[in-house]
Amino acid sequence: MDNVNATFDDSHTCMTSTTAHRVAALGNRGRGACRLAGVAVLAVWLHVSTWAAEPLTLAVSHGPVSLTVWVAETNGYFEREGLIVRVRDCTSGRSCVEMLDAGADLATAAELVVTLGSFSRADLAIIATISASSHQIKLIARRSAGVTAPGQLRGKRVGTVLGTSAEFFLDSWLLFHGLSAGDISLVALGPDQLAGALARGEVDAIAIWEPHAATALKSLGTDGLSMPNPRVYTQFFSLVTTRGAIAKRSDEMQRLLRALLRSQQFIADEPSRAREILVNRLGMEPGAADAQFREHDFRIRLDQALIGAMGRQARWAVREGHVKPEGKIPNPLDLVEPSLLRQGAPGAITLVR
């Protein structure tokens, strides 16, 4: 600390020497020293202010959907905004949101998690989406189970994670192909169990998000098949928090969004370097990472399409018995808080109120 104090003392001497006589006496060398001392003070101040900041804890789902967070972490964008961000990994968006009740300030999750949560709590809010993809969730089948076309799923055992975007995708996929959940034998499994269950023949197909889908397909080798994947559902992976956290830490959340907007620009300008970050974080082969990278739109935004998706999910959740509404179905617009993103990127918001 002696060196830090000395720097501040030198800068104070320069800044208080404001008379014309004193400035003239310093000469060019003295004025240069003053400027250097001022820069040093600014650097120390930025370092100390960041060091003294209370960390933001961000629960992040393990998958390509979280690339903007990983880019910001890798490239130091959080630090540039004067933030300390503690990233905590979780296996699914639902488990990430559960961490909001265990000390996390923000979480990444599919919009469905917020839709379902809104039936039992009124404090959840999406402040931005960080990824949108119509192909993030896939249906992987075993050829040896006699499944090579959509109609052949009738009567088969299909594993998925109940009450998640994977089940919503599966239901939408079946409907698109003239089937329903009643035409299959639905098997409830955790996300980490599905690939193994498919490989052991305990189920005939699975509906699951990446990177679990790629893991399952790879483990099956030539017996594996990724079923046709029409655009039946676009998943909006979201940055979720609570109204209470927004009230307490809105400034820091705005800065976090600015960091993620930097990530968005980096991904657009340097796609090969962004893919490298994805490879390193997911521990996957470059070819697989490239395929998943191309399936996503990594723009930070709040689209009206998000509201439409959440409305459909709310009706589906009621119909399937995942929730028991008390009164009216929650309005999806009440589950989105655009004010923070509006400060840094007003053009990224297309919500209609």
User: What is this structure's pTM?
Assistant: 0.82
The predicted pLDDT at position 119 comes to: 94
Q: Are 208 and 166 in contact (CB under 8 A)?
A: yes
Residue 281 domain-assigned (yes or no)? yes
Is 93 in the same domain as 188? Answer: no
Residue 161 domain-assigned (yes or no)? yes
What does each C-alpha distance from 300 to 66, 84, 167, 234, 350 come to in angstroms?
12, 20, 25, 15, 12
Last residue of a domain, one of 184, 206, 226: 226
Is 17 in the same domain as 157? Answer: no
Q: Whole-angstrom Cα distance, residue 285 to residue 29? A: 56
The predicted pLDDT at position 91 comes to: 86
Is 273 in the same domain as 219? Answer: no
Angle between helices 271-282 and 243-269 (to 10 degrees): 120
Strands 235-242, 205-209: pairing is unpaired
Q: How many distinct structural domains can be found in the chain?
A: 3
Is 217 in the same domain as 277? Answer: no
Residue 353 domain-assigned (yes or no)? no
Residue 113 domain-assigned (yes or no)? yes
Is 94 in the same domain as 118? Answer: yes
Which residues does the chain have with pLDDT short of 70?
1-53
Residue 63 domain-assigned (yes or no)? yes
Strands 185-188, 137-142: pairing is unpaired
Is 210 in the same domain as 341? Answer: no
Structural domain of 42: 2-51
Is 248 in the same domain as 268? Answer: yes
Is 325 in the same domain as 257? Answer: yes
Is 11 in the same domain as 70? Answer: no
Is 20 in the same domain as 59? Answer: no
The predicted pLDDT at position 35 comes to: 52
The predicted pLDDT at position 46 comes to: 44
Residue 74 domain-assigned (yes or no)? yes
Last residue of a domain, one of 226, 247, 263: 226
Residue 254 domain-assigned (yes or no)? yes
Residue 299 domain-assigned (yes or no)? no
CATH code at position 188:
3.40.190.10
Is 288 in the same domain as 242? Answer: yes
Is 161 in the same domain as 248? Answer: no
Q: Comparing C-alpha atoms, which of 56, 210, 236 is closest to residue 128?
A: 236
